[in-house]
Amino acid sequence: MTEPARPIRVLLADDEAMIRHGVRLILRHADGIDVVAEAADGYRAVEEAAAHHPDVALVDIRMPGRDGLAAIRPLLALVPAPRVVMLTTFGDEENVLRALRDGASGFLLKDEGPQELISAVRAAAAGDAVLSPGVTGAVIARMLGGGLSGADGAAPRDERIARLTGREREVLAMLGEGLSNQDIAERLAIGIGTVKTHVGAILEKTGSTSRVQAALLAHRVGLRP
């Protein structure tokens, strides 16, 4: 008899109690997701993560004391390390880019709907990038404008893309759309294991350190599915 899958363990860090309460209520009614800890600042977030071993940490960018940005690297240094998804608002694109450079798995607008929140938690737990459609365009525009650049900005774009096979270019373009492994597998009619192999090859060949950086690269070079 197959044992049921372990619930996705979530840490919620936000200094606003009402935000935490609302997110907790949404996730409480989602199958297979448990909010195991909460925190009102970055210091407490790291302490709670060390104690409760969440799979995903939803972390507000702006908090008193140690903010969400300062908490990213300490969270990722834990063993096991959670996937860190930043909670943000419009107009905070510069901080979002800093978060991505520090290893965050993506970002989500605080006013996204319940289903988007649930999907983001599941995507992060599965190792997928979380790119909120409401802010992705502004983040891409800021990066392309040269205000900030991630690790993908060092090599000539044609040289990096030339290293990829045709199929890898297709997968990279879909990463740029924010598609999950499951979505890509269905669109290309291939197995999820094959998608993971392609994604791993893309990260290695382009020098990207995460799916998010690869997605940003796809936008930077104009790849489209």
Tokens of 163: 């290293």
Backbone angles phi, psi at 88, to 5 degrees: -140, 180
- pLDDT for 156 equals 42
For residue range 199-219, list pLDDT tens digits in order.
999 999 998 877 777 877 887
Sequence spans of domains, the chain: 8-143, 150-220
DSSP per-residue codes, 69-80: HHHHHHHHTSSS
**Which residue in 10, 4, 20 sits closest to 55, CA to CA?**
10
- pLDDT for 138 equals 65
- pLDDT for 90 equals 66
Tokens of 158: 């044609």
- pLDDT for 217 equals 82
Q: What is residue 8's DSSP assignment?
A: E
Sheet containing strand 130-131, strands side by side: 33-39, 8-13, 56-60, 83-88, 106-109, 130-131
Residue with tokens 């990207």: 208
- pLDDT for 154 equals 44
Q: Are the beta carbons of 91 and 62 closer than 8 angstroms? A: no
* Secondary-structure class of domain 8-143 per CATH: alpha beta
Residues of the chain with pLDDT under 70: 1-4, 90-91, 133-158
- pLDDT for 139 equals 67
Q: Which long-range contacts (CB under 8 A, 24 or more apart) does 109-115 make?
A: 109/134, 109/135, 110/19, 110/60, 114/26
Report the CATH fold assignment for 150-220: Arc Repressor Mutant, subunit A (1.10.10)
Q: What is residue 6's DSSP assignment?
A: P
Q: Do domains 8-143 and 150-220 have the same CATH topology?
A: no
- pLDDT for 152 equals 45
For residue range 27-67, list pLDDT tens digits in order.
998 999 999 999 999 999 999 999 999 999 999 999 998 99
